[in-house]
Chains A and B, each alone.
Chain A
């Protein structure tokens, strides 16, 4: 079945690193994504990783993928107050299309 799970809340201090974790169930997913949603806004694609990779770095963002455990994580270095938002993990289990299956989201709260 298709299911994506995330922890619901994470609270960090400004300047610290944040790590948001996600588990998924469909091993056929070709891409895995991280989206950011600020209050009252749509979704912003932060980064994505192809399933044959185990790590991707993009400026302050590092994505780690453990295919054996179906575990995905997003690390945000030097977390800023502007990073406060909801972060969604998503997979694309349907290889013929691009439908995204989302987790419920992790609310990141950054305090100064």
Chain B
């Protein structure tokens, strides 16, 4: 058990809609990262938040955005959903400066 919880576990959305995914980080971990894992692929880094500010971003368009709250929990928002956004979205938390991230079980997003 990593202590990282994500909700919901599964979600089905229609192309063009917007979605919000949620993550509660492990106690004491102030850094949260989000990853997208398409079927048969490794996770791809979306962005990272530290102390409520974006602290690095991967190669994802601006319609992927996020928030981190004072309690270090986080949201991932995706606007104008596309079919290719269908994937497992993983949240990871870690103490600042350490890469030994604990991952949640993910949210499986299906866009139809």
> What total of chain B residues lie within 8 Å of the partner, measured CB to CB?
29
B45 in contact with A88 (CB, 8 Å):
no
CA distance A99 to B35 in the complex (A): 9
A31 in contact with B99 (CB, 8 Å):
yes
Contacts of B2 in A (CB 8 A): 42, 44
CA distance A79 to B43 in the complex (A): 25
CA distance A30 to B101 in the complex (A): 14
A100 in contact with B45 (CB, 8 Å):
yes
The 9 closest A-B pairs by CB, nearest first: A102-B42, A43-B103, A42-B105, A98-B99, A42-B103, A97-B56, A92-B99, A99-B45, A104-B42
Q: Is B79 interfacial (CB 8 A cutoff)?
A: no
Using a Cβ cutoff of 8 Å, how many contacts connect chains A and B? 69
CA distance A103 to B101 in the complex (A): 16
Q: Is B106 interfacial (CB 8 A cutoff)?
A: yes
* B interface footprint on A75-102 (CB within 8 Å = 1, 0 otherwise): 0000000000000101010101111111
For window 33-65 of B, CB contacts with A under 8 Å fall at 33, 35, 40-45, 48, 50, 55-56, 58
> What total of chain A residues lie within 8 Å of the partner, measured CB to CB?
25
Chain B residue at smallest Cβ distance from A105: B42
Provided the pairs A41-B105, A43-B90 are in contact, do residues A99 and B48 lie with their beta carbons within 8 angstroms? yes
Max chain B Cβ within 10 angstroms of own Cβ: one of A90, A92, A99, A103: A99
Contacts of A35 in B (CB 8 A): 103
Contacts of B40 in A (CB 8 A): 104
Contacts of B66 in A (CB 8 A): none
A53 smallest CB distance to B (angstroms): 15
For window 58-91 of B, CB contacts with A under 8 Å fall at 58, 90
